[in-house]
Amino acid sequence: MFDLRLISAEVLKLRRRRGMLILAALLTLGVALLMFAVAGIQHAGDPARYRPAGGAIAFGDTAYVLTMMAMVMGVIVGGTAGTQDIESGVFRDLAATGRSRLALFSARMTGAWAVVLPILAASMAATAVLSLVLADSAPTPDLGMIASRTAGVLVAGALSTAMAVGLSALAGSRGAVIGVLLAFFLVVQLLLIDVGVLGAARQGIPAVAIDRIADAQARGGVHVALGTAIIAVIAWGVAALGLGAWKTKTREI
Amino acid sequence: MTLSPPYDSGSVAIETRGLGKAFGRRRALDSVDLLVPSGVAFGFLGPNGAGKTTLIRLLLGLAEPTRGTIRVLGHDLPAARAAALGRVGAIIEEPRFHAHLTGRENLRVHAAARGPDAHGRIGASLARVGLAAHADARVKTYSLGMRQRLGVARCLLTDPELLILDEPLNGLDPAGIQEMRRLIRELVAEGRTVLLSSHLLDEVEKTCDVAAIVDAGKVVAQGTIHQLLNGGARTVEIVCHGPADVARLLAAVPGVTRAASHEGAIHVTLGEDAPVDRQIVTALLRRLLEHGVEIERIAPAATSLEERFLTMTTRLEDQG
């Protein structure tokens, strides 16, 4: 099912979209660097009023922003990976080789992850280093904090990428799916957290589950067990990927 | 009409029996029996909307037939799809590529879906279709002709036993058409089978050994080009000038089944019971002279595939 040559071909297709990759880097690494730069300038100008640019608090804040940016990036890259063969018309030629359509779909998924996750990992590595280097007198993040927040960012990127790949393959259209998923990740799910009537169902909201995995402060006071959070993330991903795989397998082209 | 026996069908590349495909209530294909022998250029002719692309999609496992069976290179579809299509190269309608990748990169993407040897054939395939010098240019800069050739290069990555080319001459200039024709004949000379779907009858006549004519979802005739050209009724072409309704005069001659104006001449179609040429021509001349018609020329009409095609497809019936 996981064919390294197919995955390598998917990565090639994504890597050659320079505009998309530059945007992805700006949204993640660029945003992280910008946050440290602004904080550094502020601290240098008025050390009494502004805390040091680094340290545990800066690390946590930057990781929080990167978690949201990871979702944005995952949606853009995943949406592109999920539809680029279909929209270009190449999928028909690939399917006509006799290769399993599920193998082609799996390669899209892993190829998109192979692009998204290294950029996020690099962003978090830079964030950790800058948090330590620029900590000055502030407490520094410990290894546990670095690991858990990095896990949260990577899970956010992996989940949004998976959902975008699956749903864009289902819809066959990149633009609509990217729009809907960005609205869901950036607005809808955050609103849902505050809808108390949903009760324990809010534990299944991706942002809540990801915060738990990142060991960050629970949003809206919704507490969830780590196991439940992991199951929720997997369920969202499997559902979206399942729909995409089903459509890829049955689509008449 | 199916010419029987169509040809020596010792080794068969494609065989369909009772193949049908419906989209809702519309039948795109209706019980197609097709036999494509190995090692030939096979023309699949039909007007737009006749069902050519639908058949190709079924042959490539891109859609499920509503009924009937398909065998490709000895393997049943869809049960043995991977084995059947492993040595098949195909261009379906206009060849499509990732426009932001180069020609070589597009072939790398396709080779990844093929066997492990495909990657090693990229350079040779590009050279064979004359694209080696443009291999590292992005496909969005390619002309349609270059895309067609890149499509053929993509087919060659699998060292195919069978190539299925859907309208490969579309958009090519005369030099490109000649080049594509030469390439197809070379591929056939190497022992490969080429199924070429086209509405360009003249090109099929020049390029193919065997052809089938499809109309309204049915194969109405198949056989060698020679069989198809000679399988129809005899026709006599007459150029003449006279006051009378010449076509009606000629249609009344015994042995004549149809007489109609065609590009400044009268085409007289003879029935199976018509006498030999010299007798029927004499009878036609006599009828014209009796009615004061001046005759400029009279000769047996050489039947082209286009004329055979038109007599078999609904388009002519609609006009008639």
pLDDT digits 0-9 by tens, B125-180: 999 998 999 999 999 999 888 898 899 999 999 999 999 998 888 778 888 888 88
Mark whether B241 and B197 lie in a shared domain: no
CATH of the domain at B271: 3.30.70.100
Mark whether B91 and B42 lie in a shared domain: yes
Residue B15: predicted pLDDT? 92
Residue B155: predicted pLDDT? 93
Residue A217: predicted pLDDT? 82
Q: Search chain A and give the residue with CA nearest B99.
A: A88
The answer to pTM > 0.90 is: no
| Residue where a domain stops, chosen among B186, B203, B226 | B226
Residue B304: predicted pLDDT? 66
Average pLDDT per 10 consecutive residues for chain A, totaling 253 residues: 88 95 96 96 92 94 96 97 93 92 95 97 97 92 95 97 96 92 94 88 93 85 91 97 95 80
Mutating which of A13, A93, A250 best tests the B interface, going by the most B Cβ atoms within 10 A?
A93
By residue range, what is the domain housing residue A134? 4-250
Residue B233: predicted pLDDT? 67
Chain B residues within 8 A of A17 when measuring between CB atoms: 100
Residue A165: predicted pLDDT? 97
| Residue where a domain stops, chosen among B226, B253, B287 | B226
Chain A residues within 8 A of B96 when measuring between CB atoms: 88-90, 92-93
Number of domains comprising chain A? 1
Q: Search chain A and give the residue with CA nearest B59.
A: A96
SS (H, E, C) chain B: CCCCCCCCCCCEEEEEEEEEEEECCEEEEEEEEEEEECCCEEEEECCCCCCHHHHHHHHCCCCCCCEEEEEECCEEECCCHHHHHCCEEEECCCCCCCCCCEHHHHHHHHHHHCCCCHHHHHHHHHHHCCCHHHCCCEHHHCCHHHHHHHHHHHHHCCCCCEEEEECCCCCCCHHHHHHHHHHHHHHHHCCCEEEEEECCHHHHHHHCCEEEEEECCEEEEEEEHHHHHHCCCCEEEEEEECCCCHHHHHHCCCCEEEEEEECCEEEEEECCCCCCHHHHHHHHHHHHHHCCCEEEEEEECCCCHHHHHHHHCHHHHHHC
Residue B317: predicted pLDDT? 42
Residue B5: predicted pLDDT? 41
By residue range, what is the domain housing residue B243? 235-302
| Residue where a domain stops, chosen among B203, B226, B249 | B226
Chain A residues within 8 A of B119 when measuring between CB atoms: 5
Those residues of chain B that have pLDDT short of 50 are: 1-9, 315-320
Residue B199: predicted pLDDT? 79
Element (H, E) at B270: strand B265-270
Residue B2: predicted pLDDT? 45
Number of domains comprising chain B? 2
Residue B47: predicted pLDDT? 77
Does residue B96 belong to any structural domain of this protein? yes
